[in-house]
Structure 1
Amino acid sequence: MSRPTSHGGGQAGPPIAGDPSSFPTDAELSRTLVAATRIATLSTLTAAGYPYGSVVSYAYDDAGDPVVLISEMAEHTVNARGDDRASMLIVDGAGEGDPLGRARLTLVGRLGVLDDPGELRDRYLEAHPYAAYYADFTDFSFWRLRTEQCRYVGGFGHMSWVSADAYRDAGVDPLWEAAAGIVEHMNGDHADANLAYAQVHAGLPDASEATMLGLDRYGVTLRATTPAGPRMARVPFATPLADAQTARPALIELLSLARAQRDFD
């Protein structure tokens, strides 16, 4: 059986307005999703060869490989001792609406015990301080999933395989911790700015409303209301942002440019 190549019988939605090339790569989105999440579904193989899923807490090393603290009594540990092939599903828990529209990532690789976790132990306990209670139990050990391949799904119609090299070489977006708060602030207090971004920078002059969906080092993602229906839009910053502190002046600059363009027109 062949795999379909499109949803809905090939009925494509309207193209993304603005500059879609300014989106982060799927490798960058994958690394950022791993950084922004702390819980995942770990799948191991039973002795009979069936996939076995369990919920785990994780941290990650500098290459983006997840690190877990698991007990020898747990079924997934027994499975990993017998067959080190495993995968980890990480899902973006933010947002409302259809959960299938949220970003998710499956990391596929080999699960191995860390005889000397070193600073990864500290990194894990910083992310999960409650685990300090049982981290030194004799039956608990730190394990790492060595990523060999990634499957990133950004929502309906947005999906790709990401190589291990591309995943490891990609950086975590420096705005990931602040982005949600900035987006909430823009939607709550600056709806007029969002609309200006969509009308001027994204080329949707007939838009009547715009909601900011996301923000990263490269730009902002919007959903605009137009007479023809909703449109997704992407507006880039003049230069990539280095940290969260540069987001406010970059957003102000976009608004100033939009107002200047309107005055010129």
Structure 2
Amino acid sequence: MTRPTEHGGGEAGPLIAGDPSSFPTDAELSRTLVAAAKVASLATLTADGFPYGSVVSYAADDAGNPVVLISEMAEHTVNARGDDRASMLIVDSASDGDPLGRARLTLVGRLGVLDDPGELRDRYLEAHPYAAYYADFTDFSFWRLEVEQCRYVGGFGHMSWVTADGYRGSGVDPLWQAAAGIIEHMNDDHADANLMYAQVQAGLGDATEATMVGIDRYGLTLRVATPAGPRMARVPFPAALPDAEAAQAAVIDLLKVARAQLQQQS
């Protein structure tokens, strides 16, 4: 059987309104997901060649390589000592709804022990302070997965392989820590602004409701209700934001532009 290339027998969904080209690259989305999550599924190979899955806590180094603290007594450590090939599955746990619609990332590479973890030890314990209790046990060591390939899945119909160089060369979105708070605030207190973004900047003039589902350095992502059914919309910022502090002014400026365009049309 040949591998399908489309979902649903080729039945295409509605196009994303606005400017889809303003989405971050899958490499950027991958790096941001790794930064935001702290827990992953680690798969190693048994002596008989079978994949063995387990759950680990991790922190990432500057290149996005996950660092784990594992015991010599654990099966995954025994496996890695015999065959360093491994993979890690990281899932966006913040999203609601269908789990298969969530962003997830599989990192494929080789797992090696760090004889001198240096500042990576501090970085790991900052992310997982409870681990300080056993970090110095003689049977525990820090290991790092050197990423060689990435498979990013952003939801239904959105997936790609990301090269190791592309992954390492991309940065974490500067809004990743603030995004959830911004989204909650906009949906709770500024639903009218979300609707205006959808109607004016995204060109969905018949939109009846809009919910912000994403924000990053490049723009806003909206889920929009229209008489013809739900649509996704992308509204870009005029320029990439340098940090989270710039987000409030950028969102307000988009609203000012939308209001000005409405005034010109009336």
Cα separation, 2, equivalents of 1:96 and 1:223: 13
Cα separation, 1, equivalents of 2:117 and 2:128: 15
Partner of 2:112: 112
Secondary structure of 2:100 counterpart: helix
What amino acid sits opposite 2:83 in the alignment?
A: D
- 1:14 and 2:14 correspond: yes
- 1:54 and 2:54 correspond: yes
Partner of 2:75: 75
Cα separation, 2, equivalents of 1:115 and 1:73: 18
Offset of 1:96 from its aligned partner? 1.3
Offset of 1:27 from its aligned partner? 0.1
Listed as ranges, the matches of 1:63-212 within 5 Å are 63-212=63-212
What amino acid sits opposite 2:126 in the alignment?
A: E
Offset of 1:2 from its aligned partner? 1.0
Cα separation, 1, equivalents of 2:244 and 2:148: 31
What amino acid sits opposite 1:40 in the alignment?
A: A
Partner of 2:242: 242
What amino acid sits opposite 1:164 in the alignment?
A: A
Q: Which runs of 4+ in 1 moved over 6 A?
A: none
Cα separation, 1, equivalents of 2:169 and 2:229: 39
Partner of 1:256: 256
Q: Deviations over 1:19-48 (max 9, x none)?
A: 000000000000000000000000000000
Cα separation, 2, equivalents of 1:75 and 1:14: 46
Q: Deviations over 1:156-197 (max 9, x none)?
A: 000000000000000000000000010000000000000000
Q: Deviations over 1:176-225 (max 9, x none)?
A: 00000100000000000000000000000010110001000000000111
Q: Which runs of 5+ in 2 are unaligned?
A: none
What amino acid sits opposite 1:7 in the alignment?
A: H
Secondary structure of 1:176 counterpart: coil
Q: Deviations over 1:232-264 (max 9, x none)?
A: 000000110011111010000000000000000
Q: Which runs of 5+ in 1 are unaligned?
A: none
Cα separation, 2, equivalents of 1:174 and 1:49: 40
Cα separation, 1, equivalents of 2:61 and 2:242: 21
Q: TM-score, normalised by structure 1?
A: 1.00
Cα separation, 2, equivalents of 1:35 and 1:192: 32
Offset of 1:95 from its aligned partner? 2.1
Secondary structure of 1:135 counterpart: coil
Q: How well do the aligned residues superpose, as a CA RMSD in angstroms?
A: 0.4
Cα separation, 1, equivalents of 2:173 and 2:73: 37
Cα separation, 2, equivalents of 1:147 and 1:210: 38
Q: TM-score, normalised by structure 2?
A: 0.99
Partner of 2:229: 229
Cα separation, 2, equivalents of 1:21 and 1:148: 27
What amino acid sits opposite 1:111 in the alignment?
A: L
Cα separation, 2, equivalents of 1:110 and 1:96: 32
What amino acid sits opposite 2:92 in the alignment?
A: D
Offset of 1:143 from its aligned partner? 0.2
What amino acid sits opposite 1:199 in the alignment?
A: Q
